[in-house]
A and B are shown apart, each in its own frame.
Chain A
Amino acid sequence: MKKTYKIEVDCANCANKMESAAQKTAGVSGAVVNFMTQKMTVEFEEGADASAVMKDVLSACKKVESDCEIFL
């Protein structure tokens, strides 16, 4: 299952860091961060609970870039 979220991130480097952090989160099988359109597309693993996983993704991203936002 794929879902797209609006995000707010200031620099392209931070967007890259968010992408790696999201990809490493449990329950995420793939993630792409598009800095230009300020959107993040996450593909969830089978049977994963999207809203719970996204909370983990958000805290993982906040660790690498405290200034970022994901609008869940």
Chain B
Amino acid sequence: MTAKQKKMLLRILVTAALLVALHFVPGSNGLRFALYLVPYAVIGWDIVLKAVKGIGNRQVFDENFLMCVATMGAFAIGLLRTGDYEEAVAVMLFYQIGELFQSYAVGKSRRNISELMDIRPDYANIEIDGKLVKTDPDEVAVGTVITVQPGEKVPIDGVVLEGSASLNTSALTGESVPRDVKPGDEIISGCIDMSGVLKIRTTREFGDSTVSRVLDLVENASSRKSRSENFISRFSRWYTPVVVFGAVALAVLPPLIRLASGADPAWGDWIYRALTFLVISCPCALVISIPLSFFAGLGGASKAGILIKGSNYLEAMAHTGVVVFDKTGTLTQGVFEVTAIHHSPLSEEQLLEYAALAECASSHPIAASIRKAYGKELDLGRVSEIEEISGNGVTVRIDGKSVAAGNDRLMERLGIPFTPCHHTGTIVHMAIGGDYAGHIVISDKVKPESAQAVAELRDAGVRRTVMLTGDRKAVAEQIAGELGIDEIHSDLLPQDKVSRLESLLETKSGREVLAFVGDGINDAPVLSRADLGVAMGAMGSDAAIEAADIVLMDDNPRKIAKAIRISRKCMSIVYENIVFAIGVKVACLVLGALGIANMWLAIFADVGVMILAVLNAVRALFAGRDDG
């Protein structure tokens, strides 16, 4: 509890004690009026002050004003009619209890959620004169060597110099599968070293390291407001004046009507009802619980290794109807392997040598697999005139001879007759000196979890799954069949993917959201074009974290379905709160207008609704826990 809150608690206790004491004190009406002013002043002076300031600043119709009017009205009724002042003070007392509880509950929830997300390491160990000194990670310059011992969190991104260990990445990915690192490997901050002592040379500053960036991302996510939150803001802006006019009408119209029809106007009754009406009307429960639900939902998702960059994206994810996948690296491992070599006049090794040299400058995974299959060192001096033709392949000069390595399109372009392959897989045709030299078959492996991931998506309510790939139709069809994907678009050049996505966007129905899932590195334009861009395997990839709306820290495709489930749960909590808060309020307002509810009930209802809404909101934090 903060100091402010403790002072308020004291005031509440004193007022309650005074109320109880005064209950037993007899006296004339005037005396009791004066006596009851004491606890009223103790508990209510700041509300009255704020109301006065409010009027001065032309902010007349706020909560403080309503409370003052209501309680002073109750005092007036006591003075003129009932002689009962308890109600007036009690109303103010309960209001302040409600405010205190709100402040405490929200502060506590906020702190709990923030702490849960706090994966930031507090210190870095630097070896000075043979001893390890704990240093503030902010002060560690790039290129410094830090030491991480078993059980400690890696504080800053870097490269392992010495030592090997098993790392617990659950703080970032939510998965407890360990990763091993050895000298030469890159290591990410936020992971916990489970087994060995590591010496790491930092490659970034603390503020730039993965863990800091992840935390900033999650923290700022709640600043991007969702449509529900904007609705609540607008709602509460017109709600208060409407309620005030309603109360005035309630106080004035029925008595006037009764007066006109000759009956006793019963001003007192109707004014009392109007005051109760005002007291019930406070929209706090709604205004507090909705942002809190989103905050908790964002926090819960980040614990599961799903970083959502804004409340609006969380909201959108719950309506995902179409999921478009990029094949390589998302559904498949993106690790290509040479599986066969056909129709080559040269020996396999010779062909691979030419192919590896031709692909020496390419960063494409296919090129990497060819180089890996060749296995030996490449003399780059033999290669010249490298020309990479996007979507087709590469032409080079090796030892003076012209060599081409690429797909069907490249062969057609160069006018070289080729032998197509009946195997599924990516085919790299080779042509040496203008003559066809056979082809190399390269296959990518589907991730073991992909099939289950697609099934889970369907369970989570996704209507359609689509796969986009630059690969051949045969390969695409085989994989789609294996995984149960509805629609495929193959043989796509990189620029085709964007236009294909745009035509898919046109086939959406209603409020459906289209999500695109890719690896972020070369999918940036497609990611930004989709309603929701989801980047996978993003641990360590800045480009992915920047380009996507939702970032999955590891590369398990099942996380997509999990993200949808979490967002659905969070949204259902939000809607529950909206319906509950508005519903109970309206019911109480009606009861108050009819005279069935008195002020005690009114305040109780207000505080009760608020407590329940806040508790319900915090449930969103655990949305990711129950499933696997």
Contacts and interface: CB of A to CB of B under 8 A. Distances in A.
Contacts of B113: 36
Contacts of B503: none
A34 B222 contact: yes
B186 interface: no
A37 B102 CA distance: 16
A37 B236 contact: no
Nearest to B295: A36
Contact of A16 (B220, B287, B292): B287
Contacts of B233: 16
Nearest to B222: A36
A12 B110 contact: no
A2 B42 CA distance: 43
Given A13-B283, A13-B287, A63-B59, A34 B53 contact: no
A64 B240 CA distance: 15
Nearest to B56: A63
Interface in B280-307: 283-284, 287-288, 291-292, 295
A35 B417 CA distance: 67
Most buried by B among A37, A38, A67: A37
A64 B291 CA distance: 21
A13 B284 contact: yes
A16 B239 CA distance: 14
B617 to A, nearest CB: 11
Given A11-B288, A67-B50, A37 B57 contact: no
B53 A66 contact: yes
B54 to A, nearest CB: 8
B103 interface: yes
Contacts of A67: 50
B223 interface: yes
Given A11-B288, A12-B291, A16-B233, A37 B223 contact: yes
A7 B530 CA distance: 35
A38 B103 CA distance: 13
A32 interface: yes
A41 interface: yes
Chain B interface extent, by class:
20 to 34
Interface string A51-72: 0000000000001101100000
B59 A64 contact: yes
Interface in B211-229: 219-220, 222-223, 225
B353 interface: no
Given A35-B291, A36-B291, A11 B284 contact: yes
Contact of A10 (B57, B103, B219): B103
Residue in A10, A13, A38 with the greatest tally of chain B CB atoms within 10 Å? A13
B496 interface: no
Contacts of B53: 66
B86 interface: no
Interface string A28-57: 000010111111010000000000000000
B53 to A, nearest CB: 5
B310 to A, nearest CB: 11
Nearest to B298: A36
Contacts of A12: 106, 284, 287-288, 291
A66 to B, nearest CB: 5
Contact of B222 (A11, A13, A37, A64): A37
Contact of A13 (B63, B219, B223): B63
Contacts of B114: 37
B512 interface: no
Contacts of A10: 99, 103
Interface in B46-67: 50, 53, 57, 59, 63
A66 B222 CA distance: 25
Nearest to A62: B57
B110 A16 contact: no
Nearest to A36: B295
Given A12-B287, A12-B288, A66 B103 contact: no
Contacts of B291: 12, 35-36
Contacts of B237: 16
B99 A32 contact: no
A16 B99 CA distance: 17
Most chain A beta-carbon contacts within 10 A, residue among B63, B99, B103, B291: B291
Contacts of A39: 223
A55 B225 CA distance: 26
A11 B103 contact: yes
A32 B310 CA distance: 13
A24 B225 CA distance: 19
A32 B113 CA distance: 21
A38 B291 CA distance: 12
Contacts of B220: 34, 37
Given A12-B291, A13-B283, A66-B50, A37 B103 contact: no
A25 to B, nearest CB: 15
A32 B287 contact: no
Interface string B502-536: 00000000000000000000000000000000000
Contacts of A37: 110, 114, 219-220, 222-223
A34 B310 CA distance: 12
A37 B109 CA distance: 11
A31 B290 CA distance: 20
Interface in B93-116: 99, 102-103, 106, 110, 113-114
A70 to B, nearest CB: 16
Contacts of A66: 50, 53
A11 B291 CA distance: 12
Interface in B229-283: 233, 236-237, 283
Given A36-B291, A64-B57, 5 more contacts: A16-B233, A36-B295, A37-B219, A38-B110, A66-B50
21 contacts: A10-B99, A10-B103, A11-B102, A11-B284, A12-B106, A13-B236, A13-B283, A16-B233, A16-B237, A16-B287, A32-B225, A34-B220, A34-B222, A34-B223, A35-B291, A36-B110, A36-B113, A36-B295, A37-B110, A37-B114, A66-B53
Report the 5 A-B pairs with minimum CB-CB distance, sorted nearest first. Answer: A63-B57, A36-B295, A34-B223, A12-B287, A12-B288
